Structure 1
Amino acid sequence: MKKNVLITGGAGFIGSNLALKLLENGCNVTVLDNLSPQIHGDDPELSPLYMSIKGKVRFIRGTVESREDWENSLIDIDTVVHLAAETGTGQSMYQIQRYSDVNIRASAIFLDLIANKEYNITKMIIASSRSIYGEGKYRCSEHGIVYPNARVDLDMDSGDFNVKCPICSVDVELLATDEESKIHPSSIYGVTKQVQEQMFMITGQSAGIPTVSLRFQNVYGAGQSLSNPYTGILSIFSTRIKNDNDINIFEDGLESRDFVYIDDVVDSIVLSISRDEANYQIFNVGSGVCTSVMTVANSLKNIYNSNSEIKISENYRIGDIRHNVADLELIKSKLGFVPKVDFATGLEKFTSWVNQQEVQADLYESSIAEMKAKGLYK
């Protein structure tokens, strides 16, 4: 697969792993990344993610918010994988302009270049998110398939965290969310990813550039930032445990996520680049299995042999969803994608890697204080 690939955010968790895989496949890789301290710390030379690709790729330290940096990055490129983004549901609810600038305006700069200048781009991959579905797909015993609205404070303040039918308000049954499900994000982050995805797909169609959108579920694995307190529940819990701090479980601990291992995510991107069947398609990328937050916390505590207490607080964050699990039938049928790493295996790989790392400062409490100050943590 001889390609000249630009990966924006290519020094990040997904991007660095993808860069290494593409290099193995004989590709020439260019990376545009701003080496954000939230991901890499104050000294990028100490960042395992950045150091894993340093000297192996054409690296441009810059920002997707700069037209000039985009122009420099696109020289001799035929494939663009756009991963650079601000991530994190909670933080997005009070850094609204920041998330809009990085996720929407920066995408507009790139797409404007594509629409108005001559490039040799033959494929674009946009990293979307399951967050665009909001609460996702459910079944009501009375009304069949429904797409519930965001949960309300009145219920959650009383300890009822269940998702309700938008018609009759009874509890509903979780279903796997497919790509045809209703798009109605419940966070600013989700809104920015929805707009970003639509901008890419529309521009790709109008410019005749095959475009693929990948709606990632909760990505985890060895190499994930252990210092970012805003996203990545396994990393956040691991850093808490390694600092001998207790784990605060939101809601009742039964909320669940579809955790997909980094190797499977990278495989989905490589398939999207190499297969014509992916062109102009939108795919869920996940494991197809939901795992509760309480299961995650207990598993990590046991693996690390920790004395940290697990406390169910019944606190909640505005913008959070209750559950998610992806329907993977489309990506299986079109691309032959099947997740190879189950959660138990992935957790073993992840925790083995964590045990080899220096213990990072635990910034979780400061992130919670920020949300409390904004009225987003209750």
Structure 2
Amino acid sequence: MTEHVLITGGAGFIGSRLARRLVSEGHEVTVLDALIPQVHGDEPEKTSSLLRSLDGIATVKRGSVTDRDALRDALVGVTAVVHLAAETGTGQSMYEIDRYVEANVGGTARLLDLLTNEPHMVKRIVIASSRSIYGEGSYRTADGRTVYPSHRADDDMAAGDFQVHMPGEGELTLIPTDESAKLHPSSVYGITKQMQESLIMTVAPTIGIEPVALRYQNVYGPGQSLKNPYTGILSIFSTLIRQGKAINIFEDGRESRDFVYIDDVVEATFLAVTHPSAPGETLNVGSGVATTVTEVVGALFTAFRTEVPTHITGNYRLGDIRHNVADTGRLRTVLGFEPATSFSEGVQRFVDWVLTEPVEEDTYQKSLDEMASRNLLK
């Protein structure tokens, strides 16, 4: 059945590719996007290749999800919503608190308020949730119990101890985090994503809309913003490599994340919109593989075929987690889908694309200075 899908934040990294995927299967797409300069530049029509990629693909409406009139206009004729619009920087969220809460929680609340109180045709809504809601995620104790440690202590990290600890327990072993894990985010961003997910999954069924929550892990690939210093370490490190600048690695370099390639994320999201088994489900979308920051740097050096100096600094950011890896079994069981792009393959594709793009101004240091001035970077 053909759907008319509204993608909020649809001119972004994930949304623009999802729009093309949906249209390739005969669906109609409307995009609502604020086109903020941090992501798209000061003149999006000229500077945003993601926005230009939607020409002839989707109807693009410029506006914020916090604007009730813009939402109302974008929802006309829509049968499904993919709610991607959000502020996304974990570090930045710790000092731009009002902006993150207003965009992420306020925008979601306005969307649901409209769907609750005004006529519409929406049957399904997919919310882009995040691995950040798990906080430190799942670990196994020496005697085989699964536990969910609290956030790491500033005093421990200041002393160079970056490991995850739990009172009364010995050494803990990282295990994949499944969807039943405790939710205890360690950043304002994570808190807002948990609230977004909870709002959608609670309210939608009461108004006859099928909800689906996708807990994205660390998404990367061609099209990722190279302008936004909060977009992720692959973009940040790539810019430094191209400029011949040294890479400073936080903590001890052994902190890890679950990196999942953009095409796999888009396919999982497409299935969340269209698959009959998706409604009511909460699903991790990740690779199921933990990759350390040091391994990320090595993979980029291999793909670029060049190296720059690296320094493991021992610096750390408050609100950062130590490790992250998703259990993707439920994604496979419910949607019959398993991400297939290896990290090495994905990084090579990413770097091949980066080399076709202009070298962006390095704004990463400015973002670090902002955090340090607020005592969030140590």
1:91-240 equivalent positions in 2, closer than 5 A = 91-142=92-143, 144-165=145-166, 167-240=167-240
* SS of residue in 1 equivalent to 2:277: helix
1:352-372 superposed Cα distances (whole Å, 9 cap, x missing partner): 001111111111110000000
Q: Distance in 2 between matches of 1:367 and 1:4?
A: 38
Q: Which residue of 1 aligns with 2:37?
A: 37
Looking at structure 2, the residues matched to 143 and 316 of structure 1 have their Cα atoms a distance apart, in angstroms, of 30
How far apart, CA to CA, are the structure 2 residues paired with 1:306 and 1:95?
36
The share of aligned pairs that are identical, in percent, is 51
2:303 and 2:279 mapped to 1: Cα distance?
42
The question of whether the paired residues in 1 share the 8 Å contact of 2:250 and 2:315 is answered with yes
Asked if structure 1 preserves the Cα contact closer than 8 Å seen for 2:141 and 2:169, the reply is no
| Residue aligning to 1:335 | 335
Listed as ranges, the matches of 1:271-350 within 5 Å are: 271-350=271-350
How far apart, in 1, do the equivalents of 2:312 and 2:288 lie?
Answer: 26
* Mapping of residues 56-95 of structure 1, within 5 Å: 56-95=57-96
2:374 corresponds to 1:374: yes
Supply the AA of the counterpart residue of 1:272. A
Instruction: Determine the structure 1 residue equivalent to 2:5.
Output: 5
* Paired residues of 1:70 and 1:110 also in contact (CA < 8 A): yes
Q: Distance in 1 between matches of 2:18 and 2:243?
A: 30
Are the aligned partners of 1:227 and 1:239 in contact in 2 as well (CA < 8 Å)? no
| CA distance in 1 between partners of 2:298 and 2:228 (Å) | 21
- Tell me how far apart the structure 1 counterparts of residues 292 and 363 of structure 2 sit (CA, whole Å): 23
SS of residue matched to 2:161: coil
Larger displacement relative to structure 2 (265-274 or 37-46): 37-46
AA matched with 1:292 = T
In structure 1, what is the Cα distance between the partners aligned to 2:185 and 2:84?
Answer: 19
Q: How large is the RMSD of aligned CA atoms in angstroms?
A: 1.0
What is the identity, as a one-letter code, of the residue corresponding to 2:57? Answer: K
Q: Per the alignment, in what secondary structure is the counterpart of residue 86 of structure 2?
A: coil
Counterpart for residue 14 of structure 2: 14
Q: Please give the TM-score of this superposition, normalised by the length of structure 2.
A: 0.98
Deviation string, structure 1 residues 275-296 (Cα, Å, up to 9, x no partner): 1211011000000001000010
C-alpha displacement of 1:169: 5.0
Partners of 1:348 and 1:102 in 2: how far apart?
A: 34
Alignment coverage as a number of residue pairs = 377
Letter in 1 for 2:158: D
Output the amino acid matched with 2:214: L
- 1:334 aligned counterpart, secondary structure: helix
Write the deviation string for residues 194-232 of structure 1: whole angstroms up to 9, x where unpaired. 001000001112112111000000000001011111121
TM-score by length of 1: 0.98
- For the 8 Å contact 1:65–1:105, the answer to whether it is kept is yes
Distance 1:303 1:28 in 2: 37
Letter in 1 for 2:98: Q
The reply on whether 1:362 has 2:362 as its aligned counterpart is: yes
Unaligned runs of 5+ in 1: none
Q: Could you tell me whether the CA contact under 8 Å between 2:303 and 2:347 is conserved in 1? A: no
Matched position secondary structure for 1:118: coil
Partner SS state of residue 277, structure 1: coil
Using the alignment, how far apart are the partners of 1:257 and 1:31 within structure 2? 30
Cα distance in structure 2, aligned partners of 1:303 and 1:130: 27
Q: 1:149 to 1:143 in 2, by over 3 A?
A: farther
Q: CA deviation at 1:340?
A: 1.6
Q: In the TM superposition, what is the alpha-carbon distance from 1:143 to its structure 2 partner?
A: 7.1
Q: Give CA-to-partner distance per residue, 1:90-124, whole Å, 9 cap, x none.
A: 00000000000000011100100111112111100
Any gaps of 5 or more consecutive residues in structure 2? none
Give the secondary-structure state (helix, strand or coil) at the position aligned to 2:219. strand
Letter in 2 for 1:30: T
Partners of 1:143 and 1:78 in 2: how far apart? 46
Partner letter of residue 350 of structure 1? F
Contact 1:162 1:171 (8 Å CA) reproduced? no
AA of the residue aligned to 1:136: G
Secondary structure at the aligned position of 1:126 is classed as strand
Range with greater deviation from structure 2 (47-56 or 330-339):
47-56
SS in 2 for 1:248: strand
In 2, Cα distance between equivalents of 1:307 and 1:3: 47
Query: Partner amino acid for 1:144?
Result: R
Measured in 2, the distance between the counterparts of 1:170 and 1:153 equals 20
SS at match of 1:276: coil
1:274/1:307 Cα in 2 relative to 1: closer, same or farther (>3 Å)? closer
Secondary structure, aligned partner of 2:308: coil
Tell me how far 1:171 sits from its aligned partner.
3.0
Letter of the aligned partner of 2:96 in structure 1?
Q
